[in-house]
Amino acid sequence: MQTYIKDLLKHVGEEVTLKGWLYNMRSSGKLMFPQLRDGTGIVQGVVVKSSVSPEMWDALKPLGQESSLVVTGRVREDERAPGGVEIDVTNAEVIQSAHDFPITPKEHGPEFLLDNRHLWLRSKKQHAILKVRHTVVKAVRDFLDSDGFTLCDTPIFTPAACEGTTTLFEVDYFGDEKAYLTQSGQLYNEATAAAFGKVYCFGPTFRAEKSKTRRHLTEFWMVEPEMAYATLDDVMSLAERFLSFIARRVLETRQEELKTLERDTSKLEAIVPPFPRVHYDDAVKMLHEGFEQGAVENKFEWGGDLGAPDESYLSSKYDKPVMVHHYPAAVKAFYMKRDPEHDEYALGVDVLAPEGYGEVIGGGERTTSEEFLEQQIAAHGLPKEAFEWYLDLRRYGSVPHSGFGMGIERCTAWMCGIEHIRETIPFPRMLYRLKP
């Protein structure tokens, strides 16, 4: 019977067939120990020379790492084995005999591994990371779907900027018209939220970021919920429930992978509501205290955006995400609503993950005033024609509304406890990398 490695424990004592690839091979005299992987797990086989045909023994002997093969054998329980079982191989069919697989158990540099990303994906750690990504995505959808949100996809070709003009990828759109790859589906979400109440979009987004940091990709996946009749506070409550749900789901379903990644799971267990909410001014105070104590290198100037070291310092004060709100309007996007009492602040929030993972969520309350929005569009040097439809949303039934965006890769890197977000997407796109 054909089965998968993940299901072997259900077949102890039975003869099964596994289709996969050779992960590793050890042999000693009259025994061979091929390790097989099939995408669902890894299992060790035992081949006894005296109990298989000489042809089969000779066919298996020279196989290199990642040769493809179909193995039949009896499942034997073995407490010492990683998955609790081993396979006593009775038959094996070689599909393709591979040699000199470039990625070996020895250490390779990151550039070499990224050049060989198409093969690197087969490694244990990469496999674990992408399994966690899968679970993060599933959790995101399950949470929003069961919380009354409707999925409304937003376009990838857009006529104008959403998050600043400096990070736009321009594309030729049949000669006359300029188009840009979307930076965020938010503006369209605001339209669909007025039609459906609670919506989300979830897709690839693009930023021509010239930054070469461990947190930036040029193409990343963003999930963006948007709610009509909702305020900044509502958005913070949603973000809190959302992140806690994701962390719990990862803990519930990815124990094996977290073990492979040597993740300290107590860090994920700490992600439960409520999250601390810190006004920007108080964040600045904390940064100043940090500076006086020598824990922050440069004295932070009120009015600036938080840099990666500032975010890391602030989040180091908590064991769960911290929500910094009321940023100075000058450092935030054109669509943000202003604090009615203090016009210099925007009703925006950044959720900073612990352990130095930085901003995982950015969002807030959107302006409802047509007049103010027109001013902002002009002040940001944006073309008004491209925003006429967006202004319509303030002309016809404008209501308080709010939402946020979360980058799937940043969230996954944090769940996995890994250094760089480039390993959280199958094929990363970065400043200096468009291949493979």
Interface with Mg ion (CB under 5 A): 362
Give whichever of 232 and 296 is closer to ligand 4AD, judged by the CB atom: 232
Question: Is residue 186 close enough to count as binding ligand 4AD by CB under 6 A?
Answer: yes
Give whichever of 15 and 234 is closer to ligand 4AD, judged by the CB atom: 234
The secondary structure of residue 434, as a DSSP letter, is -
Question: Is residue 361 close enough to count as binding ligand 4AD by CB under 6 A?
Answer: yes
Residue 263: both structure tokens together: 């993740």
DSSP string, 230-296: --HHHHHHHHHHHHHHHHHHHHHH-HHHHHHTT--THHHHT--SPPPEEEHHHHHHHHHHHHHTTSS
Contact pick of 181, 360, 377, 415 for ligand 4AD (by CB under 6 A): 360
CB of 292 to Mg ion, least distance (A): 28
Cis preceding linkage at 34, omega within 30: no
Give whichever of 67 and 367 is closer to Mg ion, judged by the CB atom: 367
Task: Draw the binding track, 132-171, toward ligand 4AD (x: CB under 6 A; -: no contact).
Answer: ------------------------------xx--------
Q: Which does 325 bind (CB under 5 to 8 A by kind): ligand 4AD, Mg ion, none?
A: none
Q: What type of residue is 94?
A: V
Rounded CA-CA distance 234/63 in Å is 59
C-beta separation of 295 from 313 below 8 A: yes
# of chain residues touching ligand 4AD (CB under 6 A):
23
Q: At what angle do helices 408-416 and 232-253 cross, to 10 degrees?
A: 50
Contact pick of 140, 409, 422, 423 for ligand 4AD (by CB under 6 A): 409
Surface-to-core class of residue 53, CB atoms within 10 Å of its CB (0-12 exposed, 13-18 middle, 19+ buried): exposed
Question: Is residue 428 close enough to count as binding ligand 4AD by CB under 6 A?
Answer: no
Question: Is residue 217 close enough to count as binding ligand 4AD by CB under 6 A?
Answer: yes
CB of 61 to ligand 4AD, least distance (A): 47
Contact pick of 133, 216, 320, 422 for ligand 4AD (by CB under 6 A): 216
Question: Is residue 423 close enough to count as binding ligand 4AD by CB under 6 A?
Answer: no
Piece in contact with ligand 4AD (CB under 6 A), picked from 32-40, 218-226, 252-260, 285-293: 218-226
Q: Which does 232 bind (CB under 5 to 8 A by kind): ligand 4AD, Mg ion, none?
A: none
How is the beta sheet containing 177-181 ordered, strand by strand? 157-158, 177-181, 170-173
Cis preceding linkage at 400, omega within 30: no
CB of 279 to ligand 4AD, least distance (A): 18
Surface-to-core class of residue 312, CB atoms within 10 Å of its CB (0-12 exposed, 13-18 middle, 19+ buried): middle
Q: Which does 407 bind (CB under 5 to 8 A by kind): ligand 4AD, Mg ion, none?
A: ligand 4AD
Give whichever of 207 and 320 is closer to Mg ion, judged by the CB atom: 207
How far lies 400's CA from each of 226, 239, 251, in Å?
11, 18, 36
CB of 335 to ligand 4AD, least distance (A): 8
Among residues 122, 62, 49, which one has the least CA distance to residue 94? 62
Contact pick of 290, 354, 362, 428 for ligand 4AD (by CB under 6 A): 362
Among residues 118, 125, 98, 120, which one has the least CA distance to residue 108? 120
Question: Is residue 354 close enough to count as binding ligand 4AD by CB under 6 A?
Answer: no
Give whichever of 18 and 284 is closer to Mg ion, judged by the CB atom: 284
CB of 350 to Mg ion, least distance (A): 6
Give whichever of 377 and 406 is closer to ligand 4AD, judged by the CB atom: 406
Question: Is residue 222 close enough to count as binding ligand 4AD by CB under 6 A?
Answer: yes
CB of 212 to ligand 4AD, least distance (A): 11
Among residues 352, 355, 336, 356, which one has the least CA distance to residue 344? 336
CB of 346 to ligand 4AD, least distance (A): 12
Give whichever of 34 and 348 is closer to ligand 4AD, judged by the CB atom: 348
How far lies 113's CA from each of 103, 126, 422, in Å?
8, 11, 11
Contact pick of 34, 290, 354, 405 for ligand 4AD (by CB under 6 A): 405
Kindly report each contact of residues 140-149 with a partner whose C-beta sits within 8 Å and lies 24 or more positions away, as own/partner: 140/202, 140/223, 140/242, 140/246, 140/406, 140/408, 141/202, 142/249, 143/241, 143/242, 143/245, 143/246, 144/200, 144/223, 144/225, 144/242, 147/198, 148/197, 148/198, 149/198, 149/199, 149/200, 149/225
CB of 275 to Mg ion, least distance (A): 17
Q: Which residues bind ligand 4AD (CB under 6 A)?
A: 162-163, 184, 186, 207, 209, 216-217, 220, 222, 224, 359-363, 403-407, 409-410
